[in-house]
Structure 1
Amino acid sequence: MKSEAWIFGITTVFVVLVTPAYWLVTDSSDKGGDWTGTSALAMTGLLTLMVTLYLGFHAKKMDPRPEDRLDGEIADGAGELGFFPPYSWWPLWCGATLGVMVFGVAAGAWWLFIIGGILGAVALAGLVFEYYRGVHAH
C-alpha cells in the first residue's frame, strides 16, 4: 500500500499547487477568480489528502503485500483474492427507482416520488438481503 499512498500523496501536492494557480488564472474581473472550480480543486486536494493518510497509516500496520516487496514473486500472490459477488439485478432496480424519485421531484409530482420511494425500499431490501435467500444464499 505504500505505492498507493505515494501516488495519492503526489496527487495531493499537485492539486494543492494547482488550486491557487487556477484561481489566479481565472481572475477575469475585480471580484476574484472562479470560485466553483477553485472550490472543487480545494475539495479534491482534501479528499486526496484523506486517502493518502488512510493508506499511509494502514501501510505501516500491514505486512507488505507481494507487490510491495522488492523480492516478491508472482507465485507469492497466488491463492484466493476474496469474495466477488455474482450477477445481480437489484442494482438496476435501485437505480430505476431513484430515477423515478428524481423525476417525480423535477416534475413536481410528489405522488410519483412516494411510489418511487416505496419501490426503492423494496429494491434496496432485495439488494441487501440477496445473499440470504435464493441461489446465492450462504
Structure 2
Amino acid sequence: MKAETWIFAMTTAFFVLVSPAYWFITGDWTGTSALTMTTLLAAMVTVYLGFHAARMDPRPEDRKEAEIADGAGELGFFPPYSWWPLWCALTLSLIVYAVAFTAWWLVIIGFAVGAVTLSGLVFEYYRGEHAH
C-alpha cells in the first residue's frame, strides 16, 4: 500500500498548494472551503493508508525485488451477474420521485418495496443458484 500512500500524499500536497492560491485569485469562499475539505479528506486517506502500510506485510507490488509469479494465486471473490442492483436503483428512483412530487403515500410504498429489494441484494448468496 505504499504506492497508494504516495499517490494520495502527492494529491494532498497539490490541494495544499491550490487551496490558498484559489482564494487569492478568486476570493470565493465556497470554492475555497470545498478545496480545503478536499485537502483534509485526501490527508485523511493518506494517513490511513500510511498507517496500515507500516503494519502489514509488503505486497508483491510494494517490493522492488518481487517477480510476477509472486502475485499469482486467488485474487478474491468476484460475484456473478445479479439483477438486485437494478431493482434497488429503481426503488430508490421511485422514492426520490415521490418525494419530489410530495406523494407521501408513494414514499411509503417505495420504502416497503425497498426493504424487499435490499433484502434480496444482501441475502443473494444465501439461497438460489449462487448459495454458499
What TM-score comes out, normalization by structure 1 length?
Answer: 0.91
Corresponding residue for residue 72 of structure 1: 66
CA distance in 1, matches of 2:100, 2:23: 33
How far did 1:126 drift?
0.4
Q: Quick one: percent identity of the two aligned structures?
A: 72
Question: Which runs of 5 or more structure 1 residues have no equivalent in the other structure?
Answer: 28-32
Task: Give the Cα separation in 1 of the matches to 2:97 and 2:33.
Answer: 28
The reply to whether residue 52 of structure 1 matches residue 52 of structure 2 is no
Query: 1:135 — aligned with what?
Result: 129
In the alignment of these two chains, the number of paired residues is: 132
The structure carrying a bigger helix percent of its residues is 2
Q: Partner of 2:31 in structure 1?
A: 37
* CA deviation vs aligned residue, 1:45-92 (integer Å, no higher than 9, x gap): 111111111110111111111111010100000000111111111111
Instruction: Report the counterpart of residue 18 of structure 2 in structure 1.
Output: 18
| Structure 2 residue aligned with 1:30 | none
The offset of 1:21, in angstroms, is: 1.1
Match of 1:113 among 107, 111, 115: 107
Q: Distance in 1 between matches of 2:104 and 2:31?
A: 34
CA RMSD in angstroms, aligned pairs only:
1.0
Measured after TM superposition, the shift of residue 39 of structure 1 is 2.1
1:131 alignment partner, SS class: helix
Is 2:55 the partner of 1:61? yes
Structure 2 residues not aligned, in runs of 5+? none
Aligned equivalents of 1:130, 1:2: Cα separation in 2:
35
Q: TM-score, normalised by structure 2?
A: 0.95
Shift of 1:36: 2.5
Q: Does the residue aligned with 2:36 lie in a helix, a strand or coil? A: helix
- Cα distance in 2 for partners of 1:121, 1:3 equals 40
Hey, what's the Cα distance between the residues in 1 that align with 2:50 and 2:75?
22
